[in-house]
Amino acid sequence: MPVLLGALASGLIGVSDYFGRYCSRRAQAMTTVGTAFVGGLGITMVLLVIVPSAITAADLLLGAASGALIAIALSAMWHSLAVSSSAIASPIVAAFTSLGPLIYGVSTGERPTLAANIGIAVAVAGLLLAVIVPQTVTNVGTGIAYAILGGLAFTAAIVLLDRTSVDSGMWPAATQRAAALVFMLMVTRARRIPQILPRSLRLAGLAGGIAGGLGMASFIAGVQRGPVGEVSVAGSLYPVVTIALAVVLDDDTLRWWQAVGIAAVLAGTTLITVG
């Protein structure tokens, strides 16, 4: 069940990223993410009413700290994309978000089964294949440095979420979205860029945020109940969903190795689930 929650998170976050890509092509990326966090905070407040959730100071702080780290991670990843390209940023961030929590889990005593280990290897290899797109790359050193920073911040955020209690329910998700929103509003204000999307894009931005908020809530529920390594690998496969949606809805080109990667992700996730 926890791995399935991670896989569900990948699907929802992949949908969120597709909406984010749509809006970011027509407006500032940071404005898009700030708007999305509004939608994400709104849906987590709804979940607080539906899901039994106990308030503890420790869980609230862990959620808020993870939110600040996610905002830092996104900012670093965007900067890597801006100064270099996705050919640098995407594989590095994907590797950190899938392997970082797995290494943490093993170091704290988790021991996946043989089937799960094979599934993890196949899924991560497929993820890296799927996100590789040949591009002209500039500022390689700077792009790598910011991508590593983003990957480390994502990993740290996941580790903090793993330390939240099952009884806390959706409170870590709520404080995470709130902290991330405050951080983004501060950044956009400091940089003098719009803090919310124009009316023509606002619905898409909020929809992406709602999908992302539901995805993060599913992920938090997964790591609260199961091995963080396996759940995190299942929850890190969202770029594959975004790529598939872009191919279907935007007529993006799917390279042969990306198709192989997507098939490997599906096979690997199945092995992790049954393992």
Closest CA to 172 of 67, 68, 51, 59: 59
Closest CA to 94 of 263, 191, 236, 250: 236
Q: Are residues 272 and 233 in contact, defined by beta-carbon separation less than 8 angstroms?
A: yes
Closest CA to 205 of 25, 46, 67: 25
What are 249's two structure tokens? 């809805």
What does the pLDDT profile of the chain (275 residues) look like in tens digits? 788 999 999 999 889 988 988 888 888 888 888 899 999 999 999 999 999 888 899 999 999 999 999 988 888 887 787 677 777 777 888 888 888 888 898 888 888 888 888 999 999 899 888 888 777 667 778 889 998 999 999 999 999 998 999 999 999 999 999 999 998 899 889 989 898 999 999 999 999 999 999 999 999 999 988 888 888 888 888 888 888 888 888 877 888 898 998 899 989 888 888 76
Taken in order 134, 135, 140, 144, is the CA torsion positive or negative? negative
Phi and psi at 53, nearest 5°, equal -140, 125
Closest CA to 164 of 237, 266, 6, 57: 57
Alpha-carbon gap, residue 27 to 34, rounded angstroms: 12
Please report the pLDDT score of residue 2 as a whole number: 85
Please report the pLDDT score of residue 45 as a whole number: 94
Task: Please count the residues of the chain.
Answer: 275
Q: What is the DSSP string of 59-103?
A: HHHHHHHHHHHHHHHHHHHHHHHHHS-HHHHHHHHHHHHHHHHHH
Cα 39 to chain centroid distance, Å, stands at: 16
* pTM given for the model: 0.89
Q: How many CB atoms lie within 10 A of CB 109?
A: 7
Closest CA to 172 of 212, 209, 217, 231: 217
Alpha-carbon gap, residue 153 to 70, rounded angstroms: 7
Residue labelled with tokens 């009316």? 199
End-to-end distance of the chain based on CA atoms, in angstroms?
12
The beta strand positions in the chain, using DSSP E, are none
Alpha-carbon gap, residue 204 to 42, rounded angstroms: 15
SS3 content of the chain, % helix, strand, coil (to 5): 80, 0, 20
Please report the pLDDT score of residue 89 as a whole number: 79
- Angle of CA points 45, 50, 54, to nearest 5°: 75
Per-residue CA distances from 144 to 68, 134, 258 (Å): 21, 16, 22
Alpha-carbon gap, residue 252 to 113, rounded angstroms: 37
